C-alpha cells in the first residue's frame, strides 16, 4: 500500500503541475491579447521607406498573426492532438493569415483610379516609342516599326502629321532626323463617360479579341518626307534620341555601342560617347542640366556630365543582372533604371554603390517614365501589364486590361503629360496602338 500511496501522490503532483502550467499559459495569453503586435522597432527600422499608413497596417496584421499562432499553440498543449494534426492546423492558419495580408494591401492599392480615355490607332506595325511635346501646341508623338512617326491630337485621337522620311524601322537606317511641323488642332469632342476602373481589375483576353487595326487613319493627314537635318555618324540602328537643355544640341543612342552628341544647327558630331560593351537601348537628358544618361545591354547605365566644357566625366552604374532597357532622370539627384532582370531601381547620383529603392516584378520592364510632380513611376512590361509605383517602391496601381480595353501585346514605352487635364499618361506597344489614360492617385497613397 505504501507504493500505491506514493504513486497516487505523484499523480496528484503531476496533475497539479499541468494545471499550474496551463493556468500560466492562459495568463500569458491574456496579457498578450493586450499587445498591439510585434515591437515596432523590429519591423520598422530607421531606414524604412514605407508610408506611415502602410507601416501601421502591416504591424497590426503581423500582430494578429502572432496571436493566432499563440492560441493554436496553447490549444495543442491543452489537448492530446498529434503532431501531424498540429502541423496541418499551422499550415491552415498560415495560409489564412498570409491571405489576409495580401487582401489588405490589395484593398489599399485599389483606391487608385485608372481610366482609359482615348486610343490612338493608325500605325501599321508595332509602336516603339511615345512622347508628349513640351511646348505649344501640346501633341502626342509616336514612332513605329512601319517606318513612320505620327503626331496626334490628344483630345480627339486624330492624326495631325505623318513623317515618312526614314527608310528603316524606327531609325533602322542609322540616322536621326530633325523636322518641323505646323498643325491645326481640331476642336475637341466630349469624352465618352466610362466608369472608373480600379488599377487592380483585370479580365484576360485572347488574340481573337484584338480589333482590326489595318485601317490607315493617317492616310488623310499631311505627310512630311524630307527632314530639315539628318544626323549621320552611327554605324548601327539609332534606337533613341533626346534634346539637351537649351535645344541647340541633341544626343542619340545606337546599336553600334555608342551615343553621339550633335550640334543641331551644323549637324556636326561634337562628341562620341564610347565605353559600353554592348548595344545601347536608350538615352535621356536632364531637364535643367547638361547631363546625359545612357543604358545598354551590357547590364549597366552611364552618366555623362557636360556641365564643365573642359571636362566630360562619366560614371558607370552597375546593379542589374540583365539588359538595362532604360534609365531616366527624375526629381533632385535621382535616376530610375529598368531592366530585363525584372527590377526597377532608384539611384542617388551622389552615391552610386547601391540603389535607394528596388522594385521587383514578374516580367521584363521596357521604357519607363517618371511623373516628376507626383513622383510616380510607370512600368510597361513584356507581359502586357502597366504598373505604377512610387519612388520608395510601393505599388500604387495596375492599369486595366480586358477584352475591351488595354494593350494586347507587349507594352514598349510610357510617357507622362503632367499638365494635361484629361490624359496624363500614355502607353504604346506591339499591338500597334497608343493609349491615353487618366490616372488619379489619392494623396493618401503618396504619403511619405
Pairing of strands 223-224, 159-163: parallel
Measuring CA to CA, which residue among 291, 235, 229 is closest to residue 262?
229
- What CATH class does 113-446 carry? mainly beta
Cell 514578374, residue located? 362
Residue 446 has a pLDDT of 53
- Dihedral (Cα; 192, 198, 204, 205), 10-degree rounding: 10
Residue 32 has a pLDDT of 41
Residue 172 has a pLDDT of 85
- Dihedral (Cα; 315, 320, 324, 326), 10-degree rounding: -70
Q: Where in the chain is the domain with CATH 2.130.10.10?
A: 113-446
Residue 378 has a pLDDT of 97
Residue 197 has a pLDDT of 40
Residues of the chain with confidence (pLDDT) below 50: 1-8, 11, 15, 17-38, 43-44, 100, 103-104, 106-110, 190-212, 444, 448
Residue 44 has a pLDDT of 47
Residue 106 has a pLDDT of 46
Q: Give kind and range of the element (H or E) at residue 41.
A: helix 40-43
Q: Count the neighbouring beta carbons within 10 Å of the beta carbon of residue 284.
A: 23
Extract the C-alpha cell encoding 237: 540602328
CA separation for the pair 251, 273 (Å, rounded): 10
| Cβ–Cβ < 8 Å for 396, 386 | no
Q: Give kind and range of the element (H or E) at residue 19.
A: helix 2-33
CA separation for the pair 96, 381 (Å, rounded): 31
Q: Which residues of 97-135 are buried (b: 16+ CB within 10 A; e: fewer)?
A: beeeeeeebeebbebbebbbbbebbbbeebbbbbbbeee
Q: What single-letter DSSP state applies at residue 311? A: E
| pTM of the predicted model as reported, rounded to 2 decimal places | 0.72
Q: Count the neighbouring beta carbons within 10 Å of the beta carbon of residue 58.
A: 18
Amino acid at each position: 500500500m505504501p507504493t500505491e500511496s506514493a504513486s497516487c501522490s505523484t499523480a496528484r503532483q503531476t496533475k497539479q503541475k499541468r494545471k499550474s502550467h496551463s493556468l500560466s499559459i492562459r495568463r500569458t495569453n491574456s496579457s498578450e491579447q493586450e499587445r498591439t503586435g510585434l515591437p515596432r522597432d523590429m519591423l520598422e527600422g530607421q531606414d524604412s521607406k514605407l508610408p506611415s499608413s502602410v507601416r501601421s497596417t502591416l504591424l497590426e496584421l503581423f500582430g494578429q498573426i502572432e496571436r493566432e499562432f499563440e492560441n493554436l499553440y496553447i490549444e495543442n498543449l491543452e489537448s492530446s492532438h498529434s503532431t501531424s494534426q498540429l502541423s496541418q492546423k499551422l499550415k491552415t492558419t498560415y495560409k489564412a493569415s498570409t491571405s489576409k495580408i495580401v487582401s489588405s494591401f490589395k484593398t489599399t492599392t485599389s483606391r487608385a483610379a485608372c481610366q482609359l480615355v482615348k486610343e490612338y490607332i493608325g500605325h501599321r506595325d508595332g509602336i516603339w516609342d511615345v512622347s508628349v511635346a513640351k511646348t505649344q501646341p501640346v501633341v502626342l508623338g509616336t514612332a513605329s516599326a512601319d517606318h513612320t512617326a505620327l503626331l496626334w491630337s490628344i483630345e480627339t485621337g486624330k492624326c495631325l502629321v505623318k513623317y515618312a522620311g526614314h527608310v528603316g524601322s524606327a531609325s533602322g537606317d542609322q540616322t536621326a532626323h530633325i523636322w518641323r511641323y505646323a498643325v491645326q488642332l481640331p476642336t475637341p469632342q466630349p469624352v465618352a463617360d466610362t466608369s472608373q476602373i480600379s488599377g487592380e481589375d483585370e479580365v484576360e483576353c485572347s488574340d481573337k479579341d484584338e480589333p482590326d487595326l489595318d485601317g490607315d487613319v493617317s492616310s488623310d493627314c499631311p505627310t512630311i518626307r524630307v527632314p530639315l537635318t539628318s544626323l549621320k555618324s552611327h554605324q548601327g540602328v539609332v534606337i533613341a534620341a533626346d534634346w539637351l537643355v537649351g535645344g541647340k544640341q541633341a544626343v542619340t543612342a545606337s546599336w553600334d555601342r555608342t551615343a553621339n552628341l550633335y550640334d543641331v544647327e551644323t549637324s556636326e558630331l561634337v562628341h562620341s560617347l564610347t565605353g559600353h560593351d554592348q548595344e545601347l537601348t536608350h538615352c535621356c537628358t536632364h531637364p535643367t542640366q547638361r547631363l546625359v544618361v545612357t543604358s545598354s545591354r551590357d547590364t549597366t547605365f552611364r552618366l555623362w556630365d557636360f556641365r564643365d566644357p573642359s571636362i566630360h566625366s562619366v560614371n558607370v552604374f552597375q546593379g542589374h543582372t540583365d539588359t538595362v532597357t532604360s534609365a531616366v532622370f527624375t526629381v533632385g539627384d535621382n535616376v530610375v533604371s529598368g531592366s530585363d532582370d525584372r527590377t526597377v531601381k532608384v539611384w542617388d547620383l551622389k552615391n552610386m554603390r547601391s540603389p535607394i529603392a528596388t522594385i521587383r516584378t514578374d516580367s521584363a520592364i521596357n521604357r519607363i517614365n517618371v511623373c516628376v510632380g507626383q513622383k510616380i513611376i510607370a512600368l510597361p512590361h513584356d507581359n502586357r501589364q502597366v504598373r505604377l509605383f512610387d519612388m520608395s517602391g510601393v505599388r500604387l496601381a495596375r492599369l486595366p486590361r480586358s477584352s475591351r480595353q488595354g494593350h494586347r501585346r507587349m507594352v514598349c514605352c510610357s510617357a507622362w503629360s503632367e499638365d494635361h487635364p484629361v490624359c496624363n499618361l500614355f502607353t504604346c506597344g506591339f499591338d500597334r496602338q497608343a493609349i491615353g489614360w487618366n490616372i488619379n492617385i489619392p494623396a493618401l497613397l503618396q504619403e511619405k
